[in-house]
Structure 1
Amino acid sequence: MARWLKQQVRWGRATHIESLLRPRVYATSHPLLFYGMAKREFGPAIGAIAIIWYFFTSRQLIVFSTSDLPLRVLVGSLYNILRNLDRLTRKGLLWIIPSILFYYIPLPAIHLWSMVTMGADGWGRV
């Protein structure tokens, strides 16, 4: 787990550096590239602000949709079953929920940490 976290921090820092410090790429690219970058860069920061806001005020800053996650799982699974050349197998279907939890729970914190420590010398050391 420690190696995976360090790898994600390294990749996150590189992504932040390329996204935030090289903005000319967005002038020559499709607007969806900019939208994807903005969502990737600011989503974890907005999530952290919402958590801190809730902690101190006990009021929700962002409304969470309980139907969003099951809908994402359904759409992603259907796409993989119908369109992906490496179709999901029955054995592979068992890994969908654990992989979603493993991805969506730690990843926003990793992205936020890698953004805050973007200029750090080490690649995963605190």
Structure 2
Amino acid sequence: MTYAIIEMGGKQLRVEPGRFYDVNRLAVEPDAQLTLENVLLAHFDGAVSIGQPFVSGATVQATVIQHLRGRKVVVYKMQPKKKTRKKQGHRQELTRIMVDAIQLNGSSATATGVEPSPVADAEA
């Protein structure tokens, strides 16, 4: 299993090829390709590379799928016995990205195809 820990938008994410992630809104168009170079750790072919602070020669290739908004968070403030109440909602602007490949020093790890389950083969 190949994975990387990247820094993006002030947060750290553990990413794997072939999976999608929701990150803070990026100023790019949908279907655009991204190259993320802020790789903090890379687990590649059983070897772990730890950066100080970033791993040299490591990149993550990603594709922007869509822009969306997160779930609503309700903020409710109340002062008892003062008849003061304030209700406010917030929805975070997000970008959904699909990680295509993790590259380390010229080697690339991409998502593999889905393997059929043995139960489905036994029934067929």
Normalised by the length of structure 1, the TM-score is 0.20
State which structure, 1 or 2, has the greater radius of gyration over its C-alpha atoms: 2
More helix by share: 1
More strand by share: 2
**Which protein, 1 or 2, shows the higher relative CO under an 8 Å CA cutoff with sep ≥ 6?**
1
